[in-house]
Amino acid sequence: MQRRKSPRSVAGAAVLALVASGALAACGGSSSAAGTPTLTWYINPDGGGSDPTKGGQAQIALECTKAAQGRYRINFQQLPNSASDQRTQLLRRLAAGDSNMDLMSVDPAFNTEFAAAGYYAPVPQKMVKQFTQDRVQSSIDASKYKGKLISVPFWANTQVLWYRKSVAKQAGLDMTKPVTWDQLIAAAQKSKTDIGVQAALYEGYSVWINALIEGAGGHIVKNPNATYESIQLGLDSAAGKAAAAVIAKVAKTGTGGPAVGSSQETQSLNLFQGKKTSGFLVNWPYVYAALKSAKVPWLDDVGWTMYPRTVDGKPSTPPFGGIEIAVGKDSNHPDLAYDAASCITNEEHQVLYMVSTGNPASRKQAFSDPKVTKAFPGGLAALIRDSLDKAATRPLSPYWGDMSTALQQRFSPPDAVGPNTPAAAQKFILDVLNGKALL
């Protein structure tokens, strides 16, 4: 039988052709016909979302496009919500040599990994000074690998200790002086309140463990620039044991709340908002805006101070977070991209971003801007700036991703943490890095 093309198969072919051409157009070059190069900026979701009027990265993209006066146009693409999904997406494109990877908002947890893999275009020598000027120290640390600047500090995050003034008073804790974790736990027990911490199986738990170890004068990784074969860990040390002791004490005394093993930022904030459990909390600065918008009646009773000390007499090293701006090595316009990065991270945009999204600036000047001191009142802005200057980054090793996952696994659940946990974690991490254990 002679088969003739049915109308349906013709239509099918037409649809296929359309889809194919559409897909090709989507993959098309980054230069538009008009001659204005388009830079693609992969942004992590923030308070502004994709709305260019909410003061988020979307608005900064629009403003910098205007400021460029036709030299370039910034087009943004939103990354997934979780940091690990962001990493996977960026990594795939970078590894495949995507020439549209002009600008990226990168989490410090995998910034070093990408730089070590050679995925970034080098920062122009003449711009290094501009990108490090007036920045808080921790954000500069997080943007360096092997002593060289690899990315541009954008915003910087740090945790502070939030507390109820009345609870601290009732427990007899003097909050004008630096407090230790032991004092906090005792105060929480005495006042029958909780300390909000992050100890679920996720990156936030590693943030806590790292801050505790750094606070005791130790480091998880002694030589962050080393290869996986020669890397040396400092978990199995006095500092590691001191950190494990704090975690075990918080979990075993029940001061971390009933579900400390599944507590992330939100759960710990809920604990702080709970009527009976509200006492202490270690968390990022967004807490203030969150409490304000939740209209808690006791906002005046909320106090804030420097992150607690791991050991008495040694200054604490608060956690560091935030976002760096990086330029992909296969970008068609690395120079324009760095120009755009300079616009994105200028003081005006730092202030705008801090005020609208609650994410602190990396520029010190921004913290004394009247708009910022209004949004972060009562010395909160100054506290965040000080905390950022003293903050310690997580280990800047290209293998941090694996280390962090392994660390969380061995430190979970928190109430099973004991004096031998750091040594066990250290052995496990080294096995994983050397391909002798699965993760």
Comparing CB distances to other proteins, the nearer of 107 and 113 is: 113
Q: Are 213 and 219 in contact (CB under 8 A)?
A: yes
The counts of H helices and E strands in the chain are: 18, 11
Size of the site for other proteins (CB under 8 A): 24
* Near other proteins by CB under 8 A: residue from 236, 389, 402, 415: 402
* Near other proteins by CB under 8 A: residue from 62, 67, 117, 424: 117
DSSP string, 367-405: GGSHHHHHHSTTTHHHHHHHHHHH-BPSP--TTHHHHHH
Comparing CB distances to other proteins, the nearer of 10 and 439 is: 439
The minimum distance between CB 416 and other proteins, in angstroms, equals: 16
Task: Identify the three-state secondary structure at position 115.
Answer: helix
Comparing CB distances to other proteins, the nearer of 181 and 399 is: 399
- Label the pairing between strands 73-78 and 38-43: parallel
The 10 Å CB-count burial string (b at 16+, else e) for 351-373 is bbbbbbbbbbbbbbebbebeebe
Q: Which two tokens stand for residue 372?
A: 């910022």
Total residues found in the chain within this entry: 439
The minimum distance between CB 320 and other proteins, in angstroms, equals: 22
- 162 contributes a contact to other proteins by CB under 8 A: no
What is the DSSP-derived secondary structure letter of residue 218? -
- 437 contributes a contact to other proteins by CB under 8 A: yes
Only one of the segments 232-240, 252-260, 296-304, 393-401 lies at the binding site for other proteins (rule: CB under 8 A); that segment is 393-401
* Near other proteins by CB under 8 A: residue from 398, 400, 411, 414: 398
* Near other proteins by CB under 8 A: residue from 36, 53, 133, 434: 434
Comparing CB distances to other proteins, the nearer of 321 and 401 is: 401
Planar angle of CA 384, 85, 207, nearest 5 degrees: 35
The minimum distance between CB 113 and other proteins, in angstroms, equals: 5
The minimum distance between CB 254 and other proteins, in angstroms, equals: 20
Planar angle of CA 418, 421, 427, nearest 5 degrees: 165
| Contact string (CB under 8 A) for other proteins, positions 204-233, x = contact | -----------------------xxx----
Comparing CB distances to other proteins, the nearer of 267 and 278 is: 267
Comparing CB distances to other proteins, the nearer of 257 and 398 is: 398
Long-range contacts, stretch 416-422, CB < 8 angstroms, 24+ apart = 417/244, 417/247, 417/248, 417/251, 418/244, 418/248, 419/241, 419/244, 419/245, 421/244, 422/235, 422/236, 422/237, 422/240, 422/241, 422/243, 422/244
- 300 contributes a contact to other proteins by CB under 8 A: no
Spell out where 32-123 has E strands: 38-43, 73-78, 103-106
Comparing CB distances to other proteins, the nearer of 90 and 160 is: 90
C-alpha span between 164 and 427 (Å, rounded) = 40
- 113 contributes a contact to other proteins by CB under 8 A: yes
| Contact string (CB under 8 A) for other proteins, positions 76-105, x = contact | --------x---x--x---x----------
* Near other proteins by CB under 8 A: residue from 114, 131, 163, 367: 114
Interface ranges with other proteins (CB under 8 A): 84, 88, 91, 95, 113-114, 116-119, 201, 227-229, 398-399, 401-402, 434-439
